[in-house]
Chain A
Amino acid sequence: MLIAQLALNALALGSAYALVAIGFVLVLNATTAVNFAHGESVVAGGFSAVALALFLPPDLGIPGLILLPGVLIITAVLGLAIGALAYLPIRNRPPVSVFVTTIAVGIILANSLNAGFGAAPQTAPALVGVGSFDLFGVRISRQSLAIIATAVVLIGGLAFLLQRTQLGRQFRACSQDPEMARALGIRLTRITMLAFALGTALAGAAGLLLAHQFFISPSDGGILILKAYIAVVIGGWGSLRGAAAGAMLIAFFEIGVAAVSSQPVAEGLLYMAVLLVLFVRPQGLFGEPQQVRA
């Protein structure tokens, strides 16, 4: 039964990580560059939930889920700002420049949040209330279940957008061949900015999902971007499905190792495993679905 509970926790953590990693890949595919401010975007999402929660009357017990649209909008705007400030001006430079500018944006974001909210970890309201219930003898936490459900809905919405709509088709066209897409009349800049908005909004949603159970503090961005990065490398650079799978793998590894030892040991082993994998397979675990572009 303990195993089932751990699996549920891992699934919840993995869903949140998957949102982060998928957002990361969206921007990656649209720009061929790594958005290093992505971890701080997650943190910004968590803190916008904390800030928005101040407007909720505390005694009515309104579920935190109604903050989701607000968080999505705030972080989508943040994503547009990141794209406009850190990507568009240097889009014709080597991708490594975007690394540097987005690292700078991330530092600015983290320090602004630190100035605004303080360095202490904060918690956002639970999505649909706290506590747990029994199902076939397994204690199921409402929060974990709500995290999984929310992530499934968001990822499903994204999949629908990308696979079934004209906009999604344009989106994929731009990431497969930007030159050709442009020649066919697709507005590349608009699609790229949309990728920043969508990717950062997904990161923000993950921030809301993580901020209740796992707390959120301004300096968390570095760890979150690292996990998204690892997920993307495990799943294949540029693959959305792979990113989600990689995120799940990380979460199960973390929860599993932490269950028999401790959280720092789990993280340390994760990083060591990543280093080992990279040494054995320098081209990533499953290779790259697209040619090397970043």
Chain B
Amino acid sequence: MTERITPQTCFTLLGGIGLAVYALFLASSYDQRILTLSGVYVILVLGYQFIFGHAGALSLAQGAFFGIGAYVTGILGSQFGAGFVLTFPLSIAGAAVIAAIVAVPVLRLQTHYFALATLALSQLLFLIGVNWESVTGGANGLSGVPGITLGDWRFTRGLPLLAIVWAIAGDGDDHRVLADDCAACAHRGLHGHAGNPAGGPGLRDRHRDAAPARLPAQRGLWRGGRGAVRAHQPGRFAGDAGLRGHDHLPDHDRGRRAVRPCRVR
């Protein structure tokens, strides 16, 4: 993709290089931790960009999908000793599957009802996280989640973890084009069903133009089904972030690897 070089891209580039230099040579371990966390949040936000930014649907369950990803890794890692190679895809799949199941009914809802349904869903998952103590460890959370290893590579806390988190975050950003397509599809589906149910600014205008006007409502509906599943990228990405969030969930800075219930809104 060729892009014009504007002052903005220059600033972004310079800022990025500056931060990278800082992370490599100057950052204390606390700074590295913060930078790692921001990488995790970048992944979380990239996922949210699909559903809120592009499809314009105000989902309040993004944090819950983050949590599902974190708990899949946390439970498999701490209780079964599963490693990153297994937990990473399973965390993504777990969040994506639940998001896809929920999406079928939820995507029919209009603006504030959509927000309410996703909020209720996330509160429900939060309750399960806090109260199903034998599996989730309740409010104390799970400890002893193994770190990320790939073959002989151990991504220990500090620079290695920082590097892999940002590598994955960068990878997520490369999917912008795909994201636009998915969102266009989802958006068309939403529109085919009930006006502008997702509310908000909706898709950018170019997508609105891109959606062929001749699309019959029925076809729009059918596409909605597919779009619904694809719009589940947000779930996927949230699970992704949750995974790496396993020792970085906000709310507790105790220096031990733990997954604990907390609200991420």
Listed in ascending order, the chain A residues whose CB lies under 8 Å from chain B are 34, 94-96, 99, 103, 107, 219, 222-223, 226, 229-230, 233, 237, 264, 267-268, 271-272, 274-275, 278-279, 282-284, 292, 294
Contacts and interface: CB of A to CB of B under 8 A. Distances in A.
B127 A264 contact: yes
Given A222-B263, A233-B113, A267-B127, A99 B58 contact: yes
28 contacts: A34-B112, A94-B199, A94-B200, A94-B201, A96-B58, A96-B111, A96-B199, A99-B58, A99-B115, A222-B123, A222-B263, A226-B119, A233-B116, A237-B112, A264-B130, A267-B123, A271-B124, A272-B124, A275-B117, A275-B120, A278-B106, A278-B116, A278-B117, A279-B105, A283-B113, A292-B111, A294-B112, A294-B199
Interface of B: 56, 58, 105-106, 108-113, 115-117, 119-121, 123-124, 127-128, 130-131, 194, 199-201, 263, 265
Nearest to A107: B265
Nearest to A221: B263
A107 B262 CA distance: 13
A230 B112 contact: no
A96 B110 contact: no
B120 to A, nearest CB: 4
Nearest to B197: A282
Interface of chain A, main secondary structure: helix
Given A94-B199, A99-B115, A271-B120, A282 B263 contact: no
Nearest to B120: A271
A8 to B, nearest CB: 26
Contacts of A96: 56, 58, 111, 199-201
Chain B CB count within 10 A is highest, among A96, A103, A233, A294, for A96
Nearest to B128: A268
Given A94-B201, A223-B123, A226-B119, A264 B131 contact: yes
Nearest to B116: A229
Contact of A292 (B110, B128, B131): B110
Nearest to A265: B131
B201 A282 contact: no
Chain A CB count within 10 A is highest, among B58, B112, B119, B194, for B112
A284 B194 CA distance: 14
A268 B111 CA distance: 23
Q: Which 5 A-B pairs have the closest CB atoms?
A: A96-B200, A279-B105, A271-B120, A271-B124, A264-B131
A264 B139 CA distance: 13
Given A223-B123, A226-B120, A233-B116, A294 B111 contact: yes
Contacts of B111: 95-96, 292, 294
Contact of A282 (B58, B113, B119): B113
A237 B109 CA distance: 14
B196 to A, nearest CB: 10
Contacts of A279: 105-106, 108
A238 to B, nearest CB: 10
B127 A268 contact: yes
Contacts of B201: 94, 96
Given A94-B200, A264-B130, A282-B108, A274 B120 contact: yes
Contacts of B109: 278, 282
A275 B108 CA distance: 12
B195 to A, nearest CB: 9
Contact of B110 (A34, A103, A230, A283): A283
